Amino acid sequence: MAYTDLATMKAQLDITDSGQDTILAVYVSAASARCDSYTGRVYGDDIGEGFEQHTRTNDIFELDDVSKLNLIEWPVISIASISLDDEALVSGADYRINLRTGVITFQDSANYQQRVSGVLKVTHDVGFETIPGEVELCCLRLGAYWFNRKATEGLGSQLIGDLQESFRRPEELAILRDTLDHYRLHPVG
């Protein structure tokens, strides 16, 4: 599943005929794959699945005297199980979690932050109920960038009489950073 569709890409580019449909379909697919790759939200066999709801089973973290942990993926929908050295932890008593950011804070019986060590195992549901609009926007911007750039690929500028036209455009990475940086997954390790 792609994060946008051919009709929306054509509307973005003000294209009404079908002469460019093949290349635009490639751009839609490639832009979705690029969004997954850039954010690190890649799973499954198909592109465009990185933001969908799914279950992460037995993510393992080696903890050494920490009071907080960033889960690999977020937002968190629910925690099915969490254990430290195979001992179950209880939400509200042993830890609290920010579902939006996926940050677990360990706490003692008085609800103060507590430092822990050991092997943490977490099974949880993550993902978005609907694909964020910024992800579709990024796909549209990338597709438009690639489409508009194809005629001037390799050119820096062009002189027409006394007028110099520059072909400098925002680079692909600038588009990705601008729209998707806050969706990138936490690095682990």
Model confidence at 169: pLDDT above 60: no
- Distance between CA atoms of 94 and 96, rounded to whole angstroms? 7
Prediction pTM value: 0.74
Placement of tokens 């969908």 in the chain: 52
Model confidence at 11: pLDDT above 80: yes
> What is the torsion angle, in degrees rounded to the nearest 10, for the CA atoms of residue 100, residue 103, residue 109 and residue 111?
-60
pLDDT of residue 158: 67
Task: Determine the topology of domain 6-50+131-183 in CATH.
Answer: Hypothetical protein yqbg (1.10.3230)
Instruction: Write down the domain spans for the chain.
Output: 6-50+131-183, 54-126
Model confidence at 17: pLDDT above 80: yes
pLDDT of residue 108: 94
Are 76 and 99 spatial neighbours (Cβ–Cβ below 8 Å)? yes
pLDDT of residue 46: 61
Of 174, 161, 105, 133, nearest to 4 by C-alpha is 133
pLDDT digits (tens, 9 = 90+) for 57-106: 999 999 999 999 999 889 999 999 999 999 999 999 999 999 999 999 99
What is the DSSP annotation of 128-174? -SS--HHHHHHHHHHHHHHHHHTTTTT-SEEEETTEEEE-----HHH
Mean pLDDT of the chain: 87
Are 84 and 47 spatial neighbours (Cβ–Cβ below 8 Å)? no
Model confidence at 159: pLDDT above 80: no
pLDDT of residue 31: 92
Are 132 and 141 spatial neighbours (Cβ–Cβ below 8 Å)? no
